[in-house]
Amino acid sequence: MPDDVKLTREFQVVGHRKVRPDGVDKVTGRAKYGADLILPGMLYGKVLRSPHAHAIIKKIDVSKALKLPGVKAIVTRDDFPDQPKSKPPYGPRIADLWDTTRVIMAREKALFEGHPVAAVAATSESIAKQALKLIKVDYQVLPHVIDPIEAMKPDAPILHEDQFTLGVEPAPTKPSNVFRVMKAAKGDTAIGFGEADVVVEREFKTQAVHQGYIEPHACVANASEDGSVDVWMSTQGHFVARNQLAALLGMSVGKIRFISSEIGGGFGGKIPMYGEPLAVRLSQKAHRPVKMVMSRDEVFRATGPTAGATIRIKIGARKDGRITAAEAELFYQAGAFKGAEIAAAIGCMYSQYDLENVSIVGYDIVSNRPRIAAYRAPGVPMAAFGVESVLNEIADKLGIDTVDLRLKNAAKQGTVNVQGLRYGPIGFIEMLERVKEHPHYKAPLGKNQGRGFATGFWMHAGGLSCASINVQDDGTVTLIEGNPDIGGSRASMCAMAAEELGIPYEKVTTLIADTSSLGFTFLTAGSRTTYATGMAVVEATRNAIKVCCERAAAIWGVTAEQVKWEQGFAKPASANVGDFAPLSLSELAKKAPMMGGPIAGHAEINATGQGPAIGAHLVDVEVDPETGFVKPLRFTVFQDVGRAISPDYVEGQMQGGAVQGIGWALNEEYIYNDKGQLVNAGFLDYRIPVASDVPMIDTVMIEEPNPNHPYGVRGVGETPIVPPQAAVANAVENAIGRRLNELPLSPPKILKALSERPVARAAE
């Protein structure tokens, strides 16, 4: 966008700490989340879920349930049109409606425990639950497979009989749970390993982990007899949800209106739809609004975690620390339907390093678990865990400081990654130098304590965003945009508009439009919102300022080009224009009704130029040798944020990623019984970190403004989840002298490792 990039001047609002405009309602309980909406005559929807991990659904009998007083509608697979099955060729991104319609409601088979089989709408939640018990489902139970490596074996139960592995030669003749094999390479790793003085090859394993948003999925659907429907939903992207619902149900986009509620966390997990199509169909059948709210149990059993993975890493380096070759094999669990996030892992896992010889192979594997959903930097943290762990080991073997090893191999301007992408300025070397200068890096450690370091790379998204700005009669401003506010984005939108207009932050209010009130706006995801929608807000505001200048010009009898906008006032552009008293926004707004109408500005953009982001995490832990308990003591997150429009909320993103990474590294995992049923579907047994589990997460925001954004913004939300798993594991290894390559690093694993001999180090 900008040829007038504002990267150097002092700002009045941008970059200052401010109270978020949605804060008061959220802390007082007034804010309306997904479950808070109540409509007249509203029914309550509940879902019957498969108790089996893998079973043919022979028959569903709802007759008894329908007779239960208070039951108003029931839907099953027969209420949803089937979708054509997609066929090769497949691009890197999978969007297969055949799969999606089976995610929301099982058809031929139940493919995971918790798979929806039927849904009921009743006058109360308790009646709906009673009705579920009256639905008779005739299953033919099939053998199941949970672990993706087991699912690859020739004798594994096959989930989809028509799935033949793509990307291998010769083309297979038997169906497989491996959907496809993806590859990327650069240079020749055989030559590179031949030049290495040290080669480390290790296998790592990570577990599926849930995004852990506090607010469960919730929606209300209200269908009209005229064919239209309104849907209130807790979502990361109501425009995307609207389009998908239209495709799934064969409806016109223009007949569907989605309204996003406040959202209590998403992290990628609230991109997919689950209950919304069911609620819409129930509402259409019952002719009444239907609310559906998941329990925590349902969230765990039926919504996407991120993939568990097995990762094989092989890296060779010369004695001076220069990496000569790097390989990886990635075995990613996709859940019951194809689409593991392999492409992102391939594109990011080695991309902060300047490597000549790289080869990566990734396997997209289905098994009898819920379909995965995005989770902050989807697909990358698992691969980074392997890479950064091996680099730690190489540094140890060579007796090189772990940050120096990264410095020796750091990508810089002009580096070309494995995908062929040539970088502009990326600031990795500067960040590593900041790490070495930080007091944390040299702080002394106590007994049973260790320090770990890791870095991570992520490629941000841009995309479609729209914004409208309306100047009210008194000079206050209403800003309308289309991204649900998860992490404080409204504050940043208000700030950028206020900065452009030269008015106080408090005079701008930001609203999230419904899907019928604004042009298509892509997801609140991919670390794109402040970047892309921020661009749209700036452009819309500048268009409103243009109107202000035209009005001032008309008042003064000069041309619009002779008027400039400066710190909230229209002023003559030069002394030659004339001696006119500046006109404020509120003065112009007051005259607006008599000068052609209200002052407004609009923008509809496709944001580009976002670029990559790199972070580095430094963590100290203490390991209790008697219990195996790992306590994080100190954690510092370094990240190039471009410019922090709202520093508090940028720091919050960095801290949140670190905390989620600590949970991923130390506690979180799905535990299945021998029937393929999840046995820890609740926060008591699936242990996410709470405040008392973690230290204060310190942040070092490095601000190298992105020249492609009017205020220098880069995304910040996803990079912080990439390094912490490896950083924590490296710290544990440093504390106990034993390497653990399987997450989570739970106390039993630590105690087992402590019973084994410590690893030898070059420095010892």
Partner 1 sequence: MARVVLTGEARRFTGDVDQLEIDAKNVMQLFRQLGQKFPELGAVLEDGFAVAIDGEIYEDSLLQPIKPDSEVVLIPKISGG
Q: Where in 115-197 does DSSP place strands (E)? A: 116-122, 136-141, 178-186
Residue choice 227, 424, 593, 758 for contact with partner 1 (CB under 8 A): 424
Verify binding: residue 457, partner 1, rule CB under 8 A: no
Answer yes or no whether residue 95 interacts with partner 1 by CB under 8 A: yes
Q: Nearer to partner 1 by C-beta: 9 or 87?
A: 87
At 735, list the tokens. Answer: 């504390």
Using rule CB under 8 A, residue 694 touches partner 1: no
Q: How far is the C-alpha of 497 from the C-alpha of 490, rounded, in Å?
A: 11
Does 459 participate in binding partner 1 (rule CB under 8 A)? yes
Binding of residue 609 to partner 1 (CB under 8 A): yes
Closest CA to 462 of 526, 520, 521, 512: 526
Strand-pairing partners, residue 467, are 481, 603
Query: Distance between the two ends of the chain, CA-based, in angstroms?
Result: 55
Q: How far is CA 11 from CA 505, 543, 565, 645, in A?
A: 12, 20, 15, 10
Structure tokens, 68: 């239960």
Asked whether position 92 contacts partner 1 by CB under 8 A, the answer is yes
* Interaction residues for partner 1, span 464-483 (CB under 8 A): 464
Cα–Cα dist 250/280, whole Å: 12
462 scored as a contact of partner 1 (CB under 8 A): yes
Residue choice 167, 598, 647, 695 for contact with partner 1 (CB under 8 A)? 167
Stretch that binds partner 1, among 65-73, 151-159, 461-469, 551-559 (CB under 8 A): 461-469
Please say which residue, 367 or 708, places its beta carbon nearer to partner 1: 708
Name which position in 295, 419, 509, 543 contacts partner 1 (CB under 8 A).
419
Our finding on whether 641 is near partner 1 (CB under 8 A) is no
Which of 450, 463, 482, 519 forms a contact with partner 1 (CB under 8 A)?
Answer: 463
Residue from 116, 216, 347, 482 touching partner 1 (CB under 8 A): that is 347
Q: Quick check: 650 binds partner 1 (CB under 8 A)?
A: no
φ, ψ of residue 281 to 5 degrees: the values are -65, -40
Size of the site for partner 1 (CB under 8 A): 55
Q: Which residue, 179 or 565, has its beta carbon nearer to partner 1?
A: 179
Task: Using alpha carbons, list the distances in angstroms from residue 329 to 73, 105, 356.
Answer: 49, 33, 18
| Binding-site member from 11, 90, 629, 683 for partner 1 (CB under 8 A) | 90
Q: Could you tell me the smallest distance in angstroms from the CB atom of residue 487 to partner 1?
A: 12
Q: Which residues of 254-283 are buried (b: 16+ CB within 10 A; e: fewer)?
A: eebbbbbbbbbbbbbbbbbbbbbbbbbbbb
- State the minimum distance, in angstroms, from the CB of residue 132 to partner 1: 32
**Minimum CB–partner distance for residue 528 and partner 1 (Å):** 7
Residue 320 CB coordination number (10 Å):
10
Contacts of 358 (CB under 8 A, 6+ apart): 184, 185, 186, 187, 189, 325, 326, 327, 350, 418
Question: From CA 606, how far away is CA 146, in angstroms rounded?
Answer: 40
Check residue 84 for interaction with partner 1 (CB under 8 A). no
Q: Which is nearer to partner 1, 91 or 557 (CB)?
A: 91
Among 20, 102, 160, 186, binds partner 1 (CB under 8 A): 186
Is residue 49 within a helix (H) or strand (E), and if so which, with residue range?
strand 43-49
Quick one: 321 or 347, whose CB is closer to partner 1? 347
User: Would you tell me how many other CB atoms lie within 10 Å of the CB of residue 509?
Assistant: 17
461 or 750: whose CB is closer to partner 1? 461
Half-sphere exposure of 532 (CA within 13 A, CB side): 27
Q: Which stretch binds partner 1 (CB under 8 A): 156-164, 368-376, 582-590, 751-759?
A: 368-376
The DSSP 8-state label assigned to residue 531 in this structure reads I
Residues 267-286 that bind partner 1 (CB under 8 A): 267-269, 271
CB of 425 vs partner 1, minimal distance in Å: 10
The smaller minimum CB distance to partner 1, of residues 464 and 547, is found at 464
Question: Cβ 729 to partner 1, closest distance in Å?
Answer: 22
Instruction: Build a one-symbol-per-residue string for 521-540: x at contacts with partner 1 by CB under 8 A, - elsewhere.
Output: --x-xxxx------------
| Angle made by CA atoms 148, 150, 151, in degrees to the nearest 5 | 60
Angle at 725 between CA 721 and CA 729, to 5 degrees: 160
Q: Which is nearer to partner 1, 526 or 652 (CB)?
A: 526
Tokens of 193: 């390993």
User: Does 227 interact with partner 1 (rule: CB under 8 A)?
Assistant: no
Cα separation of 131 and 298, whole Å? 17
Shortest reach from residue 326's CB to partner 1, in Å: 15
Residue with tokens 């590859």: 183
* 242, two tokens: 């609207």
Is 593 a binder of partner 1 (CB under 8 A)?
A: no
As measured in angstroms, the least distance from the Cβ of 133 to partner 1 is: 36
Specify the residue, 127 or 486, whose C-beta has the smaller distance to partner 1.
486
* Closer residue to partner 1 (CB): 289 or 723: 723
User: Should residue 664 be labelled a site residue for partner 1 when binding is judged by CB under 8 A?
Assistant: no
Q: In angstroms, what CA-CA distances link 81 with 56, 63, 78, 621, 705?
A: 19, 21, 7, 53, 49
Closest distance to partner 1 from the beta carbon of 377 (Å): 7
Instruction: Choose, by CB under 8 A, the member of 346, 563, 573, 621 that binds partner 1.
Output: 346
CB 693 within 8 A of CB 621: no
Chain positions 373 to 392 lying near partner 1, rule: CB under 8 A, are 373-378
Measured at the alpha carbon of residue 438, what is the angle toward residues 435 and 440, in degrees to the nearest 5?
A: 100
Whole-number Å distance between alpha carbons of 413 and 403:
19
| DSSP 3-state percent helix, strand, coil across the chain (nearest 5) | 30, 25, 45
Residue position matching structure tokens 């054509």: 84
| Region of 8-16, 26-34, 144-152, 421-429 interacting with partner 1 (CB under 8 A) | 421-429
Check residue 341 for interaction with partner 1 (CB under 8 A): yes
Q: Under the criterion CB under 8 A, does residue 709 sit at the interface with partner 1? A: no
68: Cβ contacts below 8 Å, ≥ 6 apart: 122, 127, 130, 131, 134
**Does position 102 bind partner 1 by CB under 8 A?**
no
For tokens 């919304």, the residue is 276
- The correct pick among 239, 300, 332, 423 for binding partner 1 (CB under 8 A) is 423
| Touching partner 1, residues 34-73 (CB under 8 A) | none
Q: For residues 137 and 346, which CB has a smaller minimum distance to partner 1 in the complex?
A: 346
By CB under 8 A, residue 93 contacts partner 1? yes
| Number of helices and strands in the chain (H, E) | 20, 26
| Neighbouring residues of 169: CB distance < 8 A, sequence distance ≥ 6 | none
In the complex with partner 1, which residue's Cβ is closer, 239 or 375?
Answer: 375
- In eight-state DSSP terms, residue 529 is I
In whole angstroms, the minimum distance from the beta carbon of 759 to partner 1 comes to 34
Our CB check for partner 1 shows the closer of 471 and 525 to be 525
Q: Under the rule (CB under 8 A), what is the footprint of partner 1?
A: 88-93, 95, 167, 182-186, 211, 266-269, 271, 341, 343-344, 346-347, 373-378, 418-424, 459-464, 523, 525-528, 606, 608-611, 708, 718
